[in-house]
Structure 1
Amino acid sequence: MTLIRRLLLPLILLLTSCWAAPASGQAFAEEFEAWNLRISSEPQKVLDELINHPLSTTDLTYQAQYHFLLSSVYLNLVYPGKALEAADQGLARLSAQEPGWLYHRLLLVKSQAMELSGQAAEARPMAAQALSWAENNQDAGLLIDALIGLGYVENTLRQYTSALNHFMRAYELAPQYDAVITQSAIAGSIALVYEYRKEYALAIPFFEEAVAHHRSTSNLLELSIALYGLGRANKHLGNDSTGISQLEESLHISRAIDDDQGVAYALKELAPVYQLTDKQDQARSMLNEAADLFTRSQNRYMLFDVHKSLAQLNLNMNDVRLAKDALLSARVHLDEQRMPIQAIALAELEAQLLAKEGLYRQAFEQLIKTVSRKQQLLAEQSTRELHELRTRHELQSKEQENLKLAEQNATQKLEILSQQQRNQTLSISVGAAVVILILLSILIYLTKKQQQALTQLANIDQLTGLPNRNHILKLAADCQQQLEAQQRLTLCMLDLDHFKSINDQLGHDVGDQVLSQVGAICKTHITSPHQAGRFGGEEFLLVFVDLPASEVEQILKALQQSVKQAGQTILPTNHQLTFSAGISHCHPGDDIKNCIISADLTMYQAKQAGRDRVCQAKPDPTN
């Protein structure tokens, strides 16, 4: 997760690049507007000039504007601690929260500084407050900023669906051309969500859009960041040569514009490549340089990560002394409360070091503690449904243990009786055997019942009664395998429109009722051999097996009508329940995952085209 923090910078650049155009009746000082235009191209020079700029005036609003710009520059240079301090100084000069447009811009910048400092949970209410103010006061510029900022924080908190919704809304509000923030500039934000979800194939088109945009505008800082994200995504997909080339270009640009933090991130990402090619000394030199650069910004997440990487590299090189020094440095920058996963990784590395030193018993004990901490962390992150499942499983396990004990007791009694009364009648022995058979039958019955319950929980979404994501993907793959040469699957990705507003305005109970009703509608209209499943959130995947396009169209129209009627029953009159859908086709031999991705992207085209409609994916010319 910490490596992806480099990818958060496009969001920061967006948030700090359009503040100079406030709504009507709002105005920044003229010199601040001039500095703002140079932030993305000359952030260090702007910072030097700001620091040397005298604040002789007693005008608190002017001073607040100054600290806002100072915080924005620090964010661009990835100095979160200094950015947070400057934002607080600006807010202190606006204690009455007036003027509101300036106060909430400062609040939004503070939320970004807090997120970079590891306080995403605390930052979320601030970004949400800025968004609410922008909506109530019709401040279009701040509205886009706040949508991006809130999405940025939610993405870090792993609230991916909500983050993607906010980014997509900002994408729809932004113009395509002739503006500071365009749709292409926001594309990197959307790519970031897919990057966090490790859906790199979905991230790449948005990263490429951002790269093309920043090349055309000669925005070198944002270009280096977009190239960094694109290079990482290609590496994860196995496109090593392409990914490395993009990362090296990002490094070259960062050095050229004196973006020290960009250099550090690129070095940290490229070092493992050199390590794999037996250039371990060069890899260590790159990591040491990255550590020095991260020290300047006091980026504790990356300082921890780079020192941990140095420790692992030195261990691989059998340099125990340097490995121990690096581990100690990593420990200094570790916040165990906010970085539990990193704490476990560090403990595992410390166990490796103990083993290198021949302290095998201590290494073993360390690993035992690490396993325990891992289990505890996983337990804390489990959902209530998993807790209930575990409870049921434990109760059933106890029942099985009791049955096994009863079986053992019966067997022991039988053996005792056999030894003491070998001459007893055959009926006694038969009776004991019958008891054992009954117990075994009960045990087998309960075991099968438990397996059926576990299978149901593993494969069926409890809210809608439809197959869950993993099961619908398996069903789709099974359907494809059974296709004959001239047959095809029709895949439809369906997403409920404005579902977040239903949750926000009417409550999650109403949202759950909507999802449950849509699940029932899908089961009514889509029957075997066709399949329907809940893909995630308010998304549903429909699979039609060798069905003519006209019949697919009829079913989808019937679904649209049923969903709208259900919305009229469930929702108030000022809400309408509709969906947007994207269709793709999958033939024998096609990569079904790519076909599903195509349907998903086409569904987003339906969203952008106005919602409440079905769009067809463009045919693949190679087919």
Structure 2
Amino acid sequence: MHQWFLQVKSQFHQSLILCLLLCGSVLAQKQLDTRYLEWEKKLNSSPDEVLQILDRSLPQAQNNNYQLAQHHYLYSQAYIALTYPDKALTHAELGLKAIDKQQFPWLYHKIQIAKVIALDYVGDPQQALPIANQVLTWARQKKDLWLLVEALSARGHIYNAMSLSVNALNDFQEAYQLVPKHGGEINQADIAADIALVYEYRSEDELSVPFFKEAVDYHRENNSFLELSVALYGLGRANKNLGNLDLSQQQLEESARLARKVKDYQGEAYALKELAGMAYKQGKTEEAIQMLKTTHQTFTTSNNKFMLLDTNYSLSRIYLSEGKIKLAEQFWLQAKKYLDPEAMPLQSIGIDELQAKILASKGEYEAAYNKLLETVSKKQKIYTESSIKKLNQFRTQFDLNNKEKENAVLQHENEMQAHRLADQATERQLTNWLIIASFTSTLLLAFIVLRSRKNRLKFEYMAQHDALTNMSNRSYCIKQIKQQLEIHHNNSLLLAMLDLDHFKHINDHYGHAVGDEVLIQFSRIFLSHFDQNVITGRFGGEEFLLAMSYGDQHQLKRSLEQFKESLLERINIAHIPDLKVTFSAGISRCRGINDLDKAIHRADMAMYSAKANGRNQIILHREITQ
């Protein structure tokens, strides 16, 4: 691959010299004009200055369509650098209108890449993907190295936005191998930042950190302040998720300073948004609110709908925690205005849950209850679809494994046939060989059947149990409850919904590894506390479900109280001795299969009431109704 790169680079230089000798106009078809190349180099350090230059020189460019197309291309790149995707898309389309594809194919495809990047930023990857594929095909045919790398990078971001992380990594890794470590129009540090983003999207922060560091070190060495700001932002977020809070704060603060230095106010706003969350967790509420309001103004200027939704949501939650209900409701309404429920299902659930909390704070418990019922249904649909997707992946892998085994058997049989034909003269040896081979095949087939059965049982278990805690998952738990109701001829049973208190704080303050350990220890103690006749399972996140076919609600409440007390002594995180884990629970009675969904809702509502009353308590649903 490196030799191919050197060959292409040499051919490029030879073509450049030939073009200079033959015709100056042909050169314009293969790269940007000299002044546009100089302005393009300024994008990494002074995108705002490039915009000013373009504004001043626009009247002159309008006299020549080729120059006008280059003008709009640089406009698009500058607005992308400053995170104004709508303006970037507009100028990319204006550039394409100004250029003749047949006469200037290279510049046409160059502007197409700018359009792909802008479409990615505005949240339309479906429209961008076929355009990226067209540019890739053209660049491969023409062996245009730099255009190929740009197209691979652009398509990688599209794949990442479409949750096709494997495809994204393939494109980025191919681009990484094509470019030099240093120098060149694009180098490995640029692609390293792209690879890091894929790992960040997959919540694999430890894998993202080395690639972010590679980008940070290179851009710091070359004083590429804009790119350095972006790479520091990614590195700061990764360290925040890994629990390296002091280091994360330093990196995010430097990112904000550098973005402000190059007048990338969008980049500064992104960094401030992260810093605001950290300030709030440190108890600096007013400082966090002020930073969020600053970012709100910036995102409003650029009409950044995703971040406006996020910022308004954060402000609403902070004001709600401070007891300022009117302000919380005001920013909740603003957040909802930017919500696209179809494209943002998880954000839609978050908005609904926040509304329920606001309603409960206003004393409108029935409305809050109804809103929570809606979110339960939405969550169930999302979890079901996710489980089906994972199960299909397991089935596909299972089928591939079996196919490989079948091929191995066929290959073995073919080899056996070849030996038989070659050794016809030694009939006795052949007979012995066939006996041995037949016995071997029988053992192999028996092994395949046994392994297939073992794999099937393994996949069934995985489909029915939560991977982290090994407890029954939501769907299998519901199935067990229905079976229990049928065994007892549809008689009633008791249900309890448990939710760990302040679990998000544990994740945010100590890291997800500690949060996972808390869930594992809680589940182990939960299972050991109740006998085998009690159905238990992880309902989702930090929520757990219990079903019991004997006793009354008060007995179950006493048993849960005993379990709650034992948690304080038995949960032990080695490096956090003062960590105390509590839960809130709600209890209801289910009066048959037809009442199951409503009974779960009643238990959930009682649990929510326990949360609203101060947490670390157990409430019967009938106590709420009374």
**Does TM, scored on the shorter chain, surpass 0.5?**
yes
Equivalent position of 1:49 in the other structure? 53
- Secondary structure at the aligned position of 2:200 is classed as helix
Report deviation, 1:177.
2.0
How far did residue 456 of structure 1 move?
Answer: 3.0
Alignment partner, residue 624 of structure 2: none
Match of 1:27 among 28, 31, 51: 31
Structure 1 residues 29 and 385, CA, compared in 2 at 3 Å: closer, same or farther?
Answer: closer
Q: Report what 2:266 is aligned to.
A: 261
CA deviation after TM superposition for structure 1 residue 262, in Å: 1.3
Matches of 2:84 and 2:389, distance apart in 1 = 38
Alignment of 1:548-587 (within 5 A): none
Determine if contact 2:356/2:372 at 8 Å carries over to the other structure. yes
User: Aligned-pair RMSD on alpha carbons?
Assistant: 2.8
2:74 maps to which of 62, 69, 83: 69
Matches for 1:378-397 after TM superposition, within 5 Å: 378-381=383-386, 383=388, 386=391
Counterpart CA distance in 1 for 2:360 and 2:458 is 41
The counterpart of 1:358, out of the listed 359, 363, 372, is 363
The correspondence of residues 102-501 of structure 1 with structure 2, limited to 5 A, is 102-381=107-386, 383=388, 386=391, 453=456, 455-458=458-461
Q: Which runs of 5+ in 1 are unaligned?
A: 1-19, 391-449, 461-469, 475-623
Matches of 2:385 and 2:214, distance apart in 1:
38
CA contact under 8 A between 1:123 and 1:153: conserved in structure 2?
Answer: yes
Could you tell me how far apart the structure 1 residues matched to 2:163 and 2:381 are?
19
Q: Which letter does structure 2 place at the counterpart of 1:264? A: A
State whether structure 2 residue 26 is matched by structure 1 residue 40.
Answer: no
Secondary structure class of the residue paired with 1:114: helix
Task: Find the aligned partners of 1:180 and 1:126 in 2 and give their Cα distance.
Answer: 22
Q: Amino acid of the residue matched to residue 456 of structure 1?
A: F
**Which of the pair is proportionally richer in helix?**
2
Q: Measure how far apart 1:338 and its partner are.
A: 1.9
Q: Secondary structure at the match of 1:52?
A: helix
Deviations 1:19-61 (A, max 9, x none): x999854132222122112111111121122123233444322
TM-score, normalized by length of structure 1? Answer: 0.59
**Alignment-mate amino acid for residue 136 of structure 1:** Q
For residues 216 and 173 of structure 2, the distance between their equivalents in structure 1, rounded to whole angstroms, comes to: 18
Q: Post-superposition shift, 1:178?
A: 2.6
Paired-residue identity, %: 39
Once residues 53 and 87 of structure 2 are traced to their aligned partners in structure 1, the CA distance between those partners, rounded to angstroms, is 16
Query: Which of residues 85, 88, 93 in structure 2 aligns to 1:83?
Result: 88
Displacement of 1:384: 5.9
Q: How far did residue 295 of structure 1 move? A: 1.1
Contact 1:118–1:338 under 8 Å retained in 2? no
The letter for the 2-side match of 1:362 is: A
SS across alignment from 1:193: helix
Higher relative contact order (CA 8 A, sep 6+): 1
Note closer, same or farther for the CA distance 1:365–1:31 as it changes in structure 2 (3 Å cut).
same
After superposition, the C-alpha distances for 1:518-575 in whole angstroms (9 at most, x for unaligned) are: xxxxxxxxxxxxxxxxxxxxxxxxxxxxxxxxxxxxxxxxxxxxxxxxxxxxxxxxxx
Give the Cα–Cα distance (whole angstroms) in 1 for the partners of residues 284 and 57 of structure 2: 46
C-alpha contact (below 8 Å) 1:63/1:93 kept by paired residues: yes
Kindly provide the CA deviation profile for residues 70-127 of structure 1, in whole angstroms up to 9, marking residues without a partner as x: 1111111100001111111111123545411111111111111111111112211111
The whole-number CA distance in structure 2 between the counterparts of 1:312 and 1:21 is 58
CA distance in 2, matches of 1:220, 1:329: 34
CA contact (8 A) 1:314 1:323 kept: yes
Mapped partners of 1:211, 1:107: distance in 2: 28
* Alpha-carbon distance between aligned partners in 2 of 1:386 and 1:34, rounded to the nearest angstrom: 53
The equivalent of 1:531 in structure 2 is: none
State the distance in 1 between where 2:270 and 2:459 align: 45
Amino acid at match of 1:105: K
Task: Tell me the amino acid that sits aligned with residue 29 of structure 1.
Answer: D
Secondary structure in structure 1 of the residue aligned to 2:57: coil
- Tell me, in whole angstroms, the C-alpha distance in 1 between the residues paired with 2:202 and 2:290: 31
Alpha carbons of structure 1 residues 362 and 150: separation in structure 2 relative to 1, 3 Å: same
In 2, Cα distance between the equivalents of 1:75 and 1:104?
A: 17
185-194 or 249-258, which moves further after superposition? 249-258
Quickly say closer, same or farther: Cα 1:54–1:353, change in 2 above 3 A.
Answer: same
Q: Which runs of 5+ in 2 are unaligned?
A: 1-11, 17-26, 396-452, 471-626
| SS in structure 1 of the partner of residue 42 of structure 2 | coil
| Residues 140, 351 of structure 1: alpha-carbon distance in 2 compared, 3 angstrom cutoff | same
Which residue of the partner structure matches residue 612 of structure 1?
none
Paired residues of 1:55 and 1:63 also in contact (CA < 8 A)? no
Alpha-carbon distance in structure 2 between the residues aligned to 1:313 and 1:264: 18
1-side partners of 2:63 and 2:385: how far apart? 51
For 1:130 and 1:22, the matched residues in 2 are separated by 24
> CA, structure 1 residues 149+163, in 2 after alignment: closer, same or farther (shift >3 Å)?
same
Report how far residue 374 of structure 1 moved: 2.2
Distance 1:320 1:186, change over 3 A: same
Give secondary structure in 2 for the equivalent of 1:194.
helix
